[in-house]
Amino acid sequence: MTATPVAEAKPGLRLAIDDGIGWISCHNPARLNALNAEMWRELPRVLATLEADPAIRVIVLRGSGDRAFSAGADISEFETARTGASASDYDALNHAAFAALEGANKPTIAMIHGFCLGGGLGIAACCDLRLTDDKAQFAIPAAKLGIGYNPRWVRPLLALAKPAHVKELLFTGRRFSATEALAMGLVNRVYTLSDLEHETRVLACEIVGNAPLSIAAAKAAIDELTRHPETADKGKLDALVARCFDSDDYAEGRRAFLEKRKPKFEGK
Ligand code: COA
């Protein structure tokens, strides 16, 4: 994997690309990969770059180092960047980052190790799939800091866990184990830390090898039907399915099956 060079200690998002996978790492080593305002601002830009690159078929979000996916928003900035009038500007940055992740057309995976707290859990919840290590810890400590948790960020959590579980997260701020997170529906699968990256790559490569238009149609249908069950744009979703049946990839899928070989999909 080739990472874009960034000064080691400088916080930021690091981008690496390989095998059709775009890896975005939260990098803030001094603060357990806490996300500062610049990182929130960067996330939509980095996602847009990966979305625009036809060679990228899956996006993985991870934390750098060995202690944390992300310990949430960078509290050390709150005194200046998240009080009084600036609080709503900060919320807007958070919201734009969450919206960019939720609106991504390509499949997104959160690879979670160690601490996954506050906004860290927020961005993980906006991904399509979540894999975690068995020692990871999950919490939203907003009530321990007196932060009002924006309703827009509650919705992705509610798409994963029952309201009573989300209330437990938000009322207590308590840290939950990977096993508890799995039982709540917050994560898809739990691995040992030593297997996590390999298993994430296996999952990502499985998706990379499948037909992009089929995945895009499925993702749009699942997102639209869960977010707007009453008003889902069924015409748009039907058009995405029709696009699959008209595609070269569908012809390639049929041919490959008959020729007993692995299909080679191009996303058209
Ligand atoms: N923002 C800014 N700095 C953070 C941070 C955050 N969200 N989370 C951790 N850090 C910093 C700590 O202040 C500490 O810095 P220091 O070495 O300069 O004192 C460093 O990261 C290491 O954390 P530390 O607290 O020493 O590690 P720990 O293993 O004892 O505890 C946590 C780890 C995650 C339990 C603890 O750091 C914590 O509760 N962090 C805040 C999490 C939070 O509330 N997130 C939601 C923000 S909205």
249 lines ligand 1 (CB under 6 A): no
Q: What angle do CA 43, 48, 51 make, to 5 degrees?
A: 125
pLDDT of residue 9: 80
CA of 31 to the centre of ligand 1 (A): 6
Q: d(Cα 202, Cα 51) in Å, to the nearest integer?
A: 21
34 lines ligand 1 (CB under 6 A): yes
Q: pLDDT tens-digit profile of 191-227?
A: 999 999 999 999 999 999 999 999 999 999 999 999 9
What ligand 1 atom has the least distance to the C-alpha of 118?
Answer: 46
pLDDT for the residue numbered 33: 98
Q: What is the pLDDT of residue 87?
A: 83
pLDDT at 84: 81
Question: How far away, in angstroms, is 259 Cα from ligand 1 center?
Answer: 56
Shortest-distance Cα residue to atom 36 of ligand 1: 71
Low-confidence ranges of the chain (pLDDT < 70): 1-8
Atom 40 of ligand 1, nearest CA residue: 71
Beta partners for residue 110, in sequence order:
61, 130
pLDDT of res. 137: 98
Residue written as tokens 């739990």?
190
SS3 per residue for the chain:
CEECCCCCCCCEEEEEEECCEEEEEEECHHHCCCECHHHHHHHHHHHHHHHHCCCCCEEEEEECCCCEEECCECHHHHHHHCCCCHHHHHHHHHHHHHHHHHCCCCCEEEEECEEEECHHHHHHHHCCEEEEECCCEEECCHHHHCCCCCHHHHHHHHCCCCHHHHHHHHHHCCCEEHHHHHHHCCCCEEECHHHHHHHHHHHHHHHHCCCHHHHHHHHHHHHHHHHCCCCCCHHHHHHHHHHHHCCHHHHHHHHHHHCCCCCCCCCC
Q: Which residues contact 256 (CB under 8 A, 6 or more apart)?
A: 262, 263, 264
pLDDT of 6: 46
pLDDT for 2: 44
Residue 11 Cβ inside 6 Å of ligand 1? The answer reads no
30 Cα to the center of ligand 1, angstroms: 9
Q: Letter for the amino acid at 205? A: C
Q: What pLDDT does residue 83 have? A: 81
Question: What whole-number distance in Å separates Cα of residue 123 and Cα of residue 129?
Answer: 11
Give nearest CA residue, ligand 1 atom 8: 71
Residue bearing the CA closest to ligand 1, atom 21:
31
Quote the percentage of the chain above a pLDDT of 70: 97
